[in-house]
Amino acid sequence: MARRARDTCASVSQHKRSMPGRRSWKRLAWRSRRISAGRTAPAPSTSATRPGIVSNARNPASGPSIDAALKVWTERNQMRKLVDKTLVVASHNAGKIREIRDLIGPLGFEAKSAADLNFVEPEETGTTFEENATIKALASAKASGLPALSDDSGLAIDALGGAPGVYTANWAERDDGSRDFSMAMEKVEKELSEKGAAKPEERTARFVSVLCLAWPDGHVELFRGEVEGHVVWPPRGTSGFGYDPVFQPRGYDTTFGEMSAEEKHGWKPGDAKALSHRARAFKLFAETCLGA
């Protein structure tokens, strides 16, 4: 049964420490090459205590980590605001970086991606979107000394038990490490066909996006957005990226792949509504951490 789209947010605090000063992008790139993936992104073992809430903790031996529960604040007046509009987009995915820049551009941010800065790409060892988003954001925040914003997202199909879910990108991986989303979409269709899922109501799915905003001192904020719809075949449209051509949001007769960026996201600062999962998460981010 399809779940209703939900937007939730969580605040996680580990410990307080004075923020480091701004560094030049050139120095950040130099520093990143000296930091290993293991040091920048400790493996998590957290679990969601309830929808949208992730417990967090500090390991005294290794500094901020996400190994165990410490404290969760959910009231808005306890959430940390983002004052400096310089941040790192904690991603190496070109399509995702483009969409994040499209969404944060109107908010006046100066942003460089982890790929631009040659940061080490951390291993995503989490089993939830929240865990993987936190791993990526903390890695870039520690490497840069600046706030970092990450996104972990995926397609969850009801007939496949929520798959591909957090392994959405893995379904597109080839033996040589490259990604082929045409192959991934064919795999999705093959799995659905084997289960006899032919009607739209048998192919219900949702796109999920979890944003994590992390500071170098280990404090993180999490924002979750979802959009309901169903999987179509054959793929339609060439816009967007990933599985966009096979996802048709509820109430629309076009896929994300057939929509312009403006149509897909359906949101800009000050708007009450947002369509895409990522735009819904960004709406919460802007309202909570920016007051936009």
How wide is the angle at C-alpha 177 spanned by C-alphas 241 and 164, nearest 5°?
55
Vertex 220, ends 216 and 225: CA angle to 5°? 140
Measure Cα distances from 114 to 8, 132, 139 in Å. Answer: 26, 15, 9
Is 94 annotated as contributing to ligand binding? yes
- Cα diameter, the chain: 57
Residue linked to tokens 């990450």: 150
Is 278 annotated in a binding site? The answer is: yes
Q: Which residue has the tokens 């939730």?
A: 8
Q: How does DSSP classify residue 12?
A: E
62 has binding-site annotation: no
User: Is 243 assigned to a binding site?
Assistant: yes
Question: Which residues are identified as catalytic?
Answer: 152
Residue 96 labeled ligand binder? yes
Q: Is 239 annotated as a binding residue?
A: no
Measured CA to CA, the distance from residue 136 to residue 144 in angstroms comes to 12
242 is in an annotated binding site: yes
Q: Is 167 known as a binding-site position?
A: no
Establish whether the linkage from the previous residue to 20 is cis, with ω within 30° of 0: no
- Among residues 209, 167, 172, 204, the alpha carbon closest in space to that of 187 is found at 172
Question: Is 77 labelled a binding residue?
Answer: no
> Does the annotation flag 172 for ligand binding?
no
Compute the half-sphere exposure of residue 129: CA atoms within 13 Å on the CB side of its CA: 32
Q: Is 91 annotated as a binding residue?
A: yes
Q: Binding site: what residues are annotated?
A: 91-96, 123, 152-153, 241-244, 264, 277-278
* Binding-site annotation, residues for substrate: 91-96, 153, 241-244, 264, 277-278
Annotated binding site for Mg(2+): 123, 152
